[in-house]
């Protein structure tokens, strides 16, 4: 349903006749886009849409005093869309719900089911997709602080195995979210969790998007510094990239090396972007000679922009995951003593070479050939 227009008001060409209505709803008509429903007087407005459709176009439906919907015309299907746009399908978070925090006019809420955010099934989504997707839960939902309308959602955790029921559910959720216009930022990692890292990731993305929105200039030759590349003073006093999420992990590796718990203080990494839109980042540190602690993270932003290169974000988050497993301070050195958690350096090199050999599947050139050498 869309905007209600008084009878007698100016109608667009081809909009069809405006019918007069008796009762408390007199003088109102309802305009909608898409296939024109066949008149079903036995179906009240609140019972759902009609089952059969006529030719595609924009109709003018009359809402009578009994709540019945009847079609009175058809317009050019290329006409401007009305309030049935996908954005109208997003349901605002209730006004009484308390956000975890508010940043830059955006309120961040804890876990929400997709069914709490979408008001009705969008066109093109099957009933099976709809019923399966509604039960899916996001770790965080970011909404406009003034209206409560969802802006994007975040999930953090292990990636579902290929061909699994979990992967099928993710695809259904993606189909519904794409149809209603809800961007979802998916962080795939066996180590990272929203409870520990969700706030930091969301804060980073909100700031990065705000910076990117204001960084563009009128000069086409102007090449502003990206958010990730801003240089400043780091917590340890050094100068470096202040928006490197892995900076603390790199400092932790140096600390662990000084205390003789690592054989190499350098956290290394690589990143790629696949043609399907997924970004992947690897990060590793040599714990003992020839034995490495490796983390891999994927980032999927699905036709949305998180404010920085998602591949570099994936690599930085992989460094964060490495830092979570380093023996720093009172943290137990499980990753250092558990051989099953480590990867042989030669095997790591072989896996990097396999990644390099898949360059035809990449959206951007592979820039880490040097890691395949001895």
Residue 134 has pLDDT above 80, yes or no: yes
Mean pLDDT of 207-233: 81
State whether 360 and 252 are in the same domain: yes
Q: Is the domain of 37 the same as that of 137?
A: no
Mean pLDDT across 51-55: 36
Are residues 138 and 114 in contact, defined by beta-carbon separation less than 8 angstroms? yes
Please check whether residue 118 lies inside any domain of the structure. Answer: yes
Q: How far apart are CA 114 and CA 193, in angstroms?
A: 19
Regarding whether 152 and 95 lie in a shared domain, the answer is yes
Higher pLDDT, 255 or 9: 255
pLDDT at residue 195, as a whole number? 96
Q: Residue 294 pLDDT more than 50? A: yes
Last residue of a domain, one of 165, 188, 211: 188
Is residue 212 classed as helix, strand or coil in its secondary structure? helix
Q: Read off φ and ψ for residue 253, nearest 5 degrees.
A: -65, -40
Residues 57 and 101 reside in one and the same domain: no
CB proximity list for 265: less than 8 A, separation 6 or greater: 253, 254, 256, 257, 258
Give residue-wise pLDDT tens across range 89-123. Answer: 899 999 889 999 999 999 999 999 999 999 888 88
Nearest to 316 by CA among 200, 142, 173, 150: 200
pLDDT > 70: what percent of the chain? 71
Give how far Cα 318 sits from Cα of 152, 178, 187, 189, 366, Å: 22, 27, 10, 8, 18
Rounded-to-integer distance, Cα 284 and Cα 275, Å? 24
pLDDT (0 to 100) of residue 305: 94
The residue written with tokens 């961040």 in the block is 108
What mean pLDDT comes out for the span 216-229? 71
Q: Tell me, what's the pLDDT at 373?
A: 80
Location of structure tokens 């079903």: 40
CA 202, 316, 206: angle at the middle one, nearest 5?
20
Final residue of a structural domain among 48, 75, 102: 75
Q: Are 296 and 259 within one domain?
A: yes
Contact 345, 290 (CB under 8 A): yes
Residue whose pair of structure tokens reads 């979802």 in the numeric block: 184
Judgement on whether residues 57 and 117 belong to the same structural domain of the protein: no
**In this model, does residue 227 exceed pLDDT 50?**
yes
Domain boundary, last residue among 139, 172, 188: 188
Whether residue 365 is found in the same domain as residue 257: yes
In a domain, 304, yes or no: yes
Gap between the Cα atoms of 274 and 34, Å rounded:
35
Give yes or no: residues 32 and 90 share one domain.
no
Do 250 and 362 have their domain in common?
yes
Residue 305 CB coordination number (10 Å)? 14
Q: How confident is the model at residue 374 (pLDDT cuts 50, 70, 90)?
A: low
pLDDT for position 327? 78
Task: Give the tens place of pLDDT for each residue, 331-361.
Answer: 665 555 677 889 999 999 999 999 999 999 9
Look at the alpha carbons of 111, 112, 114, 115 in this order and tell me if their dihedral is positive or negative. Answer: positive
**CA gap 36, 74 in Å, rounded:** 7
**204 is a domain residue:** no
Whether 328 and 368 share a structural domain: yes
List Cα–Cα distances, 247 to 228, 237, 266, 268, 274, in angstroms: 12, 12, 11, 12, 25
C-beta atoms surrounding 262 within 10 Å: 24
> Phi-psi category of 314—alpha, beta or left, where left has phi over 0 and alpha has psi -120 to 50?
alpha
* Tally of domains in the chain: 3
Assess if residue 198 is contained within a domain: no
Is pLDDT above 50 for 260? yes
Taking a C-beta distance cutoff of 8 angstroms, is the pair 69, 61 a contact? yes
Q: At what angle do helices 194-215 and 310-324 cross, to 10 degrees?
A: 150
User: pLDDT tens digits for 144-157?
Assistant: 999 999 999 999 99
Euclidean distance between CA atoms 115 and 74, whole angstroms: 32
Q: Pick from 135, 63, 74, 144: which is nearest to 102 by CA?
A: 144
Q: Same domain, yes or no, for 174 and 123?
A: yes
Beta bridge partners, 31, equal: 60
- 282 band by pLDDT with thresholds 50, 70 and 90: very high
Q: Is residue 196 part of a domain?
A: no
Question: How many Å apart are CA 186 and CA 163, to the nearest integer?
Answer: 18
Q: Which pLDDT tens digit goes with each residue over 63-88?
A: 333 333 344 443 333 333 333 344 45
Domain range spanning residue 124? 86-188
**Which residue carries 């709540």 as its tokens?**
67
The verdict on residue 32 lying in a domain is yes
- CA 6 vs. chain centroid, Å, equals 40
Kindly state whether residue 212 falls inside one of the protein's structural domains: no
Residue 302 — very low, low, confident or very high, per pLDDT cuts 50/70/90?
A: confident
Q: Are residues 67 and 128 in the same domain?
A: no
């Amino acid at each position: 349903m869309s905007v209600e227009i008084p009878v007698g008001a100016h109608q667009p060409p081809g909009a069809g006749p405006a019918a007069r209505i008796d009762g408390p709803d007199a003088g109102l008509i309802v305009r909608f886009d898409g296939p024109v429903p066949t008149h079903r007087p036995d179906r009240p407005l609140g019972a759902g849409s009609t089952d059969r459709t006529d030719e595609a176009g924009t109709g003018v439906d009359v809402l009578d005093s009994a709540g019945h919907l009847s079609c009175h015309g058809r317009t050019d299907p290329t006409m401007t869309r009305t309030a049935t746009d996908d954005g109208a399908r997003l349901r605002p978070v209730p006004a009484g719900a308390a956000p975890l925090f508010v940043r830059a006019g955006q309120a961040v809420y804890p876990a929400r089911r997709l069914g709490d955010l979408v008001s009705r099934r969008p066109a093109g989504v099957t009933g099976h997709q709809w019923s399966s997707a509604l039960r899916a839960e996001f770790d965080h939902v970011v909404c406009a602080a003034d209206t409560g309308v969802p802006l994007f959602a975040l999930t953090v955790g292990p990636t579902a195995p290929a061909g699994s029921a979990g992967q099928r559910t993710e695809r259904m959720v993606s189909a519904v979210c794409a149809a209603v216009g809800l961007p979802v930022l998916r962080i795939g990692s066996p180590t990272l969790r929203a409870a520990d890292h969700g706030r930091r990731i969301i804060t980073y993305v909100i700031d990065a998007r705000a910076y990117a929105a204001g960084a563009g200039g009128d000069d086409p030759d102007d090449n502003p510094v990206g958010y990730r590349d801003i240089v400043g003073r780091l917590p340890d006093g050094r100068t470096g990239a202040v928006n490197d999420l892995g900076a603390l992990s790199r400092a932790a590796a140096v600390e662990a090396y000084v205390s003789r718990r690592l054989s190499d203080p350098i956290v290394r990494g690589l990143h790629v972007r696949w043609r399907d839109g997924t970004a992947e980042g690897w990060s590793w540190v040599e714990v003992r000679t020839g034995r490495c602690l490796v983390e891999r993270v994927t980032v999927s932003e699905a036709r949305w922009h998180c404010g920085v290169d998602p591949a570099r974000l994936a690599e930085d988050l992989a460094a964060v995951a490495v830092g979570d497993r380093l023996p720093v301070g009172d943290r137990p050195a499980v990753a250092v003593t558990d051989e099953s958690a480590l990867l042989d350096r030669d095997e790591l090199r072989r896996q990097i070479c396999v990644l390099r050999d898949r360059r035809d599947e990449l959206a951007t050139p592979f820039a880490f050939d040097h890691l395949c050498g001895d």
